Amino acid sequence: MRNRSAFWPALALMAPLVLFLAFAYAVPFLGVALWSVTLPEPGLGQYERLVGDPLVQSAFLRTFRICLIVTVIAVACAYAVTYVWVRGTRMQRRLIEICIFVPFWISLLTRAFGWLALLSTRGIVNTSLQALGLTDGPLALVRNEPSVIAGMVHVLIPFAVLPLASAMRTVDERMLLAARGMGASRLRIFWSVFLPLTLPGVIGATLIVFVFSLGFFVTPAILGGGRSIMVAELVYLRMFQSPDWGLGAAISVALVILVAGLMGLLARFARLGLTGGGR
Amino acid sequence: MSKRAVGLQVIGIGKSFGHFTALKDITLDIAPGEFLTLLGPSGSGKTTFLMVLAGFQAASEGRLLSDGVDITGSRAEDRSFGMVFQGYALFPHKSVAQNIAFPLQVRGIAREDIARRVDAIIARVGLAGHENKRPAQLSGGQQQRVALARALVFEPPVLLLDEPFSALDKHLRGRMQEEVARLHGEFGTTFVFVTHDQSEALSLSSRIAIFNHGRLLQVGAPRDIYERPSSRFVAEFLGEINLLPVGGIGHCARGTSGTFEDARLTAPRHDHLDGSAVLAVRPEHMSVSAEPPAEGNGVPARLVGTTYLGSAMRLAFATRSGTPLTVTLPSVAAGHILDRGPDFWVNWSFDNGFLLPEQS
């Protein structure tokens, strides 16, 4: 009751954001959803194709596989980096900030080309290896899954660092001291105290990284070189290369539903983890 | 139950953080099985000293011996003293039983032994029925018991307690104090207890060590420290006290005396004083009369206020020169005095005052 008087002014203040999201996001997406059931003719034909087409299926499976690997590597790397960032010396913290957050502001495209410059046939790695006489010819370091994974992990680590840092900062120093005082080794303290206490942060970071990685387009397109196509690139190809808007739209809708479902599931899991015990 | 309470010998321990000196030249013998309280205001260095004892902080100078063995450089995890932290520091993701089992698991003790010892100590601290609860589901007093059980279950040679009762309400605090005293008696472990609460220190300890500004001012049994403080700070910190500036210090057969206003006041002999000093008397050691006393010390004073405290009454007086005096009397005895006008004599026996140097 008390809030009723504040309802309309609050709505008025939020209106620009709501309108922006509606016009920039909801309306276009509804348009795409409409295409998926109307192009080239009305009906669920495109969804039948989506389920039946081995090319689409393999793109989905590849996307999940790559994203899972990327998430595990990115969260693990981010955990180590965050640990040093939160608990390290001043120098270490400064170094981490430069190494993690400066690239964060550089365009995705630039970073993908940076990896190309490193890994391509005439890139720095290959020319160095040959100059040192370690390899005869150039190694195929790019246009494959591992290079896509490397590029994606690089982009996604900062997104995992932030939730992990907030979890690590809430760990009570006295709990770690208490464990030490009871004779626990550093490894033991990490596994049975520090890691469980930061688990909500790990779940949050996993959720964010996995969801972000599912929609990756630029990095896999450049580093995968058209060989290991992921879902977002497949949508692009269906839309702009082989005019097949209906299928492209159906794949988009399927991806959004999957992501939303995953987010719901993981958010519930994270809530249980945060309250510790789930009761 | 405890087979190996140890004594600690602290020799000239100092601790600095940059230019700040947190502890200076602490020398102290902690006897096996004693209950030593470190008492002082916040920032006095008592907690830093506890952290140095625990091994969480390295001493900048001095040595620490455990039953004669030098442990100055050994790590906290190797000293393995039990510790109860302020706020308890229980593991929130572990159950009561898992929290208590942790130090035993760390020691690689067999699973059945762990279960047996955890069950035994849970019963001893009165937590039966709560084994599978998380700390967040327990009350403050119960969390306190878990912290004590976790710190005692591995039978440490020394138990360190850092202001363990600061989060509890007054009633619970009293119950937990009794509990800790009981556990100290049963386990026979050496207890080193930090507090800023002087009544807690007086009631629990076998000895009290008073800290201020990083220095150890005095160590002794509660009674000795309360009745024979060596400095003004200790006297004032341990409870209310009246301080009368006296001049013309002289020694006589009955002790040492000095002049306050027109009265010659006498206290037990103090050889290292001359000129002027401070005569200290606890409020409960004073009495009030209408006439000058036949024996002992007496100072004329005017009653300026009373406070009813239930069992006792606090009477505020001012002497002729305006020096405030506080007297506490049992309420029963105080009642009839108040009716008799504002001018009284405040009296105490020669033995109940003590002289302190002016600057301390």
With beta carbons under 8 A apart, name residues in chain A contacting B86. Answer: 174
Identify whether the C-beta of residue A212 lies closer than 8 Å to the C-beta of residue A259.
no
Order of strands across the sheet that contains B263-267:
B263-267, B255-260, B242-252, B277-281, B353-356
- What is the average per-residue pLDDT within B281-295? 90
CB contact under 8 A, B89 and A180: no
B321 C-beta neighbours (distance < 10 Å), count: 9
- Closest to A184 (Cβ–Cβ): which among B55, B77, B134? B77
Query: Which tens digits make up the pLDDT trace of B210-264?
Result: 999 999 999 999 999 998 888 889 998 998 999 999 998 888 888 898 999 888 8
CATH code, A208: 1.10.3720.10
Which domains are assigned to chain B?
A: 8-234 (3.40.50.300), 240-356 (2.40.50.100)
Closest by Cα among A172, A163, A173 to A199: A163
- Give the tens place of pLDDT for each residue, A253-271: 999 998 888 888 777 766 6
Domain residue limits at A196: 44-275
DSSP assignment string, A130-190:
HHTTS-SS----SSSHHHHHHHHHHHHHHHHHHHHHHHHHTS-HHHHHHHHHTT--HHHHI
- Interface-testing mutation among A170, A173, A180, with chain B (most B C-beta atoms within 10 A): A180
Residue A240 pLDDT level (bands cut at 50, 70, 90) = confident
* Helix segments in chain A, DSSP class H: 4-21, 27-38, 45-52, 54-87, 90-104, 108-119, 124-131, 145-169, 173-181, 186-189, 195-214, 218-224, 231-240, 245-275
- Cβ neighbours of A188 in B, within 8 Å: 106
In a domain, A169, yes or no: yes
Instruction: Mark yes or no for CB contact B102/A175 under 8 Å.
Output: no
Asked if the Cβ–Cβ distance from A174 to B56 is below 8 Å, we say no
Return the residue of B nearest to A176 by Cα.
Answer: B89
Selecting from A175, A192, A277 the residue whose C-beta is nearest the C-beta of B89 gives: A175
Confidence band for A276, pLDDT divided at 50, 70 and 90 = very low
Cα distance from A275 to chain B (closest Cα, Å)? Answer: 9
Contact B154 A192 (CB under 8 A): no
Whether A183 sits inside 8 A of B136 (CB atoms) is no
Q: Is residue A19 part of a domain?
A: no
Residue A182: list chain B partners with CB under 8 A: 80, 82-83, 102-103, 106, 150-151, 154
Which residue has better confidence, B169 or A69? A69
If one counts the domains in chain A, the total is 1
pLDDT for residue A146 is more than 50: yes
Cβ–Cβ gap A178/B89 under 8 Å: yes
pLDDT value for A270: 63
Please provide residue B308's backbone torsions phi and psi, each rounded to the nearest 5 degrees.
-90, 125
pLDDT at A124: 85
- Residue A113 counted as domain residue: yes
- Does a structural domain hold residue A39? no
Q: For residue A5, is it within any domain? A: no
User: Is residue A35 a part of any domain in this protein?
Assistant: no
On the 0-12 / 13-18 / 19+ scale of CB atoms within 10 A, B111 is exposed
Tell me the shortest Cα–Cα distance from B278 to chain A, in angstroms.
Answer: 44
pLDDT per residue as tens digits for the range B152-195? 999 999 999 999 888 788 888 888 899 999 999 998 899 999 99
Q: Searching chain A, which residue's CA lies closest to the CA of residue B106? A: A184
ipTM: 0.78
Q: How far is it, in rounded angstroms, from Cα A251 to Cα A232? A: 9
